[in-house]
Amino acid sequence: MDTVNNNNAGSKVHHPVTSGRSWPLGVTVDPAGVNVAVWAPEADAVKLCLFDDSDTETRITLPFRDGDVWHGHVADVAPGTRYGLRANGPFDPRAGLRFNEAKLLIDPYARLIDGPLVWDPLMVDCVVEPDGDFTLDYRDSAPVVPKAIVAAPTVDGPDPASNRPLHDLSDMVIYEGHLKGLTATHPDVPEELRGTYAGMAHPAIIKHLKDLGISAIEFLPLQAFIDDEYLVDRGLTNYWGYQPICWLAPEPRYAKEDADAELRHLVHTLHEAGIEVFLDVVYNHTGEGDGLGPHVSYRGLHNRGYYRLTGNGHHYVNDTGTGNTVAAEEPMVMRLMLDSLRHWVEHYGFDGFRFDLAATVGRTEHGFKPTGAFFQAARQDPVLATTKLIAEPWDIGPGGYQLGHFPFPWSEWNDWYRDRVRRVWRGEPMGQLGLASAVLGSSGVFDNSGRGSNASINFVTAHDGYTLADAVSYVQKHNWANLEENRDGHGDNYSDNFGVEGPSEDPWVVDSRRRRVRGMLATLLVSQGVPMILAGDEIGNTQGGNNNAYAQDNEIGWLDWTSADPSLTEYVRDLIAVRHRLPVLRQRTFLHSRKRADGLPEVVWTRADGETPGNDDWHSSDFRTVAVQIRGASDDPNGAGVDDHVLIIISLGGDTDVTLPDPSDGRRWQLEIDSARHGNDDKTPLPDVSGPDSPTTYPALSQSIVVLSAIDSD
């Protein structure tokens, strides 16, 4: 193959270019240089732009093309070299063509970038004239766009993919948190490490998670993202990170020195502690926004391929509410998504993914389809087959709410569960809201596609909304710090403040909030399905009533470890221990009151007086106390092999003596947890239900969950 020299005139370094190959996509290093392959079918030319330490740029045109991929092998380019891309082609925004060679583009396959992305006016590709016409913006954006870094073929240090714990999903307790927010104020983490990958790997944080009994931590987005114009103009930042630009690159702002090495070390450290690591990924949109957003990557390479457009390409479909929607159904876009996921699994060792607005990636031209191409591609992928896949099952597009409609083996965030639990605890009728179904795994929602109860990711709080402490302290959102005149965030949170908005020193209010928090946490941990706890709920963290802290990279969004409630932390630890100890609380299949081989039913519901509740009971607003016996599922070998069973008392009204059923087979009840009495300062003795003269009733306090297990009398 002939060699081509097409470096910029005046450049001191010349890089011979040979044909290379059209795969793999991106910039891949070898002993002689790098292979470059870029998907840009409508471009007239694509250039690799190399930057030296003084930011002098060398542009090298890729002269070879296979189908829709421009490619070439560029000699004498080593790992660590900083680079970008430029694409030349037609500029016709009304037809969806947005080429502008003046704008430096980040390689969609970049594995590392040299700094955070922050909006700058130089990033726009065009100016909209008063008459509505578009004029090219000829200003060079290279000074404000981070550069990709050529990644080395091998890396030093422990391999985080080599020590993955691989828990069964039904046995897991997930802990959702923000990597920076978790450590930003922690007193035991050195100040220089707070808010970083290295800080998250600090022994104090690992010990906290391990002591709690956490099985997996789910990090908010770590794919490199941009601080968008809207926030920069207001002096805020994109704290949560839901504006991705680089799907393969770790966010550099969380690095002390080396994002790649520090993230790999973090995952390996968590694995050593027996904790799986999940990543919240965003493939439904990018941070390039609408037609006036930053022109930093995908738009400049193939706008009509990466995004769903309407009006002959003039407008962006906005099923995500962010200005654009990724064309996940496009084969090359799907390829990038899957390549990205595999990279996070194989290189960084991630064990699972939570997909933001996952309904979007399942859309076709005919709407959402459980048989959509992305779901089929992910299902057959041998690397992703080892991971847990969790959907946020909605977007804002037509027919966007798809809870319960995702295919096997996907699990889903169950907001139906969240809302029912919150509403029942604040006083609404438990029967009308389906509390019994929620506690038993939401079978009415998920009992399809061969999925079991672990399809339901149960939660009462998540990053998007109130913390648990705020859910019992505020009925109005307090989002003024977001500078949107308090218009943002959910308007109806099914919260309660016990008559006082915000902090209170009234003993009754304090005790009522304490019981409500412990009761809702207990409900979460004894329900069938997979529980997810919001980071900070176990220490009583508050955001001051802000239920949309997406832009609060400060004390509002960070966990306040200095005000942690140690008694609440101990309670959550004990709750999780009870769940781990009692397998009947975490079964894989749904319970439907069927008879087991021993003739006993899987589930029995009783009133406080021991009688079976009728339809009128379930739909009465006065029906506030109920008990349920749970045994192993009859149609699951693991469940059928579970000989023990539990009794859960749900006491949402006043103090009530609850009749205890006969545990059968000469057994007796043993108290496992009493949410209202746990950690009481008055040191009131717990009721004794396991002595030789076992009582026939249990004195359940108001606003409480009680768990009893059946044990042998010996």
Render pLDDT for 340-367 as a digit per residue (tens, 0 to 9): 999 999 999 999 999 999 999 999 888 8
Rounded Cα gap, residues 506 and 497, in angstroms: 12
Q: What per-residue confidence (pLDDT) applies to 1? A: 39
Give the model's pLDDT for residue 687. Answer: 86
Q: How far apart are CA 189 and CA 110, in angstroms?
A: 31
Question: Above 80 in pLDDT, residue 107?
Answer: yes
Instruction: Find the catalytic residue in 356, 464, 538, 672.
Output: 356
Q: What CA–CA distance (Å, rounded) separates 390 from 409?
A: 9
- Is 684 or 558 the better-scoring residue by pLDDT? 558
Model pLDDT, residue 713? 79
Instruction: Place 11 in a pLDDT band, splitting at 50, 70 and 90.
Output: low
Question: With bands split at pLDDT 50, 70 and 90, how would you rate the model's confidence at 309?
Answer: very high
What span, in angstroms and rounded, lies between the C-alpha atoms of 602 and 266? 42
Beta strands in 517-661 (DSSP E): 530-534, 603-607, 625-630, 646-651, 656-659
Of 557, 491, 480, the closest CA to residue 241 belongs to 557
What would the pLDDT profile of 155-214 be if each residue is shown by its tens digit? Answer: 999 999 999 999 999 999 999 999 999 999 999 999 999 999 999 999 999 999 999 999
Coil, strand or helix at 182: helix
- pLDDT given for residue 3 in this prediction: 46
Cβ atoms within 10 Å of 10's Cβ, excluding its own? 7
What is the percent of the chain with per-residue pLDDT over 90, rounded to a whole number? Answer: 88
Among 57, 227, 351, 392, the active-site one is: 392
At residue 2, the pLDDT reads: 41
Per residue in 396-420, pLDDT (tens digit) is: 999 999 999 999 999 999 999 999 9
Q: Let me know if 331 is exposed, middle or buried by CB neighbors in 10 A (0-12, 13-18, 19+).
A: exposed
Q: In whole angstroms, give the CA distance from residue 632 to residue 614.
A: 24
In the residue annotation, 392 being an active-site residue is answered as yes
Q: Are 202 and 183 in contact (CB under 8 A)?
A: yes
Q: Locate 484 and state its tokens.
A: 């949107």
The pair phi, psi for residue 322, each rounded to 5°, is -115, 0
Which residue, 136, 563, 158, is CA-closest to 348? 158
Q: Any catalytic annotation for residue 329? A: no
pLDDT at 714 over 50: yes
Q: What are the DSSP E strand ranges found in 54-153?
A: 57-61, 64-66, 69-75, 82-88, 91-92, 97-98, 117-118, 126-128, 134-136, 148-149
Q: Mean pLDDT, to the nearest integer, of 425-430?
A: 95
508 pLDDT above the threshold of 90? yes
Question: What is the reported pLDDT for 639?
Answer: 63
Q: Determine how β-strand 530-534 pairs with β-strand 174-177.
A: parallel
- Residue 437 burial (C-beta neighbours within 10 Å; 0-12, 13-18, 19+): middle
Handedness of CA 491, 492, 497, 499 (dihedral sign): positive
Span 533-560, average pLDDT = 98
3-state secondary structure 321-386: CCCCCECCCCHHHHHHHHHHHHHHHHCCCCCEEEECCHHHHCEECCEECCCCHHHHHHHHCCCHHH
Band of residue 9 on the pLDDT scale cut at 50, 70, 90 = very low
Quick check: helix, strand or coil at residue 127? strand
Residue 618's CB: how many other CB atoms inside 10 A? Answer: 18
Least confident among 10-19, 379-388, 656-665, 670-679: 10-19
Gap between the Cα atoms of 125 and 103, Å rounded:
7
What mean pLDDT is predicted for residues 61-78? 97
